[in-house]
Amino acid sequence: DADVTQTPRNRITKTGKRIMLECSQTKGHDRMYWYRQDPGLGLRLIYYSFDVKDINKGEISDGYSVSRQAQAKFSLSLESAIPNQTALYFCATRGTGDYGYTFGSGTRLTVV
Amino acid sequence: AQSVTQPDIHITVSEGASLELRCNYSYGATPYLFWYVQSPGQGLQLLLKYFSGDTLVQGIKGFEAEFKRSQSSFNLRKPSVHWSDAAEYFCAVVVSYNTDKLIFGTGTRLQVFP
């Protein structure tokens, strides 16, 4: 099994729908992150969490929310999806003191 | 604001040729520096990282990178490219341990011709 698992891998949803992207990890890492990738823009940080009770906004958090259900689980929600949220979403983890970020395989989200 | 620049959007090389991908960062102090590779349909894989010490860093798959403080650069190199190296490459920096923000460049897509 992958160290960082994202579900679903692909999703098409309609404008205005609520959608949740899930991330789980087996690394035992405290820190988890959600990034969004758009062509020509690289990856941009949406939210990050240092532990279950510590959640922080990244540079593009508007329109998104997160939930850290457990050390191993970090979910990203789009309360009311809009077409410009069409992107590839990555979850990542890293351990305290270790800068070796581990990325999931990504969720490709299309909002129509 | 801190930023990472990858000036080359797309590079094409022949198999067996040498490769250099450029990365420049904008930050007053020495950041933590990374190179990641993304194969089509895949997540990001760490190639190498620099925190301190020897400015020439060896990574996986035969890649190396050199940190040059005077040029604010962290260029990725490989002496002989293989067709399997075709992918997108991202340079990234962490500029603050406390904020823990990994900032990515916009990526360089590498195409390899046989």
Q: What percent of chain A has pLDDT over 70?
A: 97
pLDDT of residue B96: 67
pLDDT at A47: 95
Q: Which residue of A has its CA nearest to B9?
A: A40
Q: Distance (Å) from the C-alpha of residue A17 to the closest C-alpha of chain B?
A: 25
pLDDT at B97: 60
DSSP helix/strand/coil, A6: strand
Q: How far is the C-alpha of B13 from the C-alpha of B76, rounded, in Å?
A: 14
CB contact under 8 Å between A99 and B104, yes or no, is: no
Whether the pLDDT of residue A99 is over 80: the answer is: no
Residues whose CB falls within 8 Å of the CB of residue A103, separated by 6 or more in sequence, listed in order: A4, A90, A91, A92, B36, B43, B44, B45
Q: Chain A partners of B101 at a C-beta cutoff of 8 Å?
A: 45, 48, 58-59
Facing A104 at nearest CB: one of B43, B46, B92: B43
The pLDDT of residue B101: 76
What is the average per-residue pLDDT within A22-35?
A: 94
Q: What is the mean pLDDT of residues A55-68?
A: 94
Place of tokens 């191993």: A72
Single-letter amino acid code for the residue at A110: T
Query: What's the mean pLDDT in A11-18?
Result: 97
* Residue A49 pLDDT greater than 70, yes or no: yes
Q: Are B43 and A106 inside 8 Å of each other by CB?
A: yes
With beta carbons under 8 A apart, name residues in chain A contacting B107.
Answer: 40, 42
Residue-level pLDDT, tens digit, chain B, 114 residues = 668 999 999 999 999 999 999 999 987 677 889 999 999 878 899 999 998 888 999 999 999 999 999 999 999 999 999 999 999 999 999 876 666 778 899 999 999 998
Cross-chain Cβ contact A105/B43 below 8 Å: yes
A107 neighbourhood in chain B, CB within 8 Å? none
CB within 8 Å: B45 and A104: no
Looking at the predicted structure, is the pLDDT value of residue A64 above 90? yes
Question: Among A31, A100, A102, whose Cβ lies nearest the Cβ of B100?
Answer: A31
pLDDT-derived band at A100, boundaries 50, 70, 90: confident
Chain A to chain B, count of Cβ pairs less than 8 Å apart?
Answer: 51
Amino acid B71 reads Q
Is the pLDDT at A70 greater than 70, yes or no?
yes
Residue B47: its pLDDT value, please?
95
For B82, the token pair is 């293989």
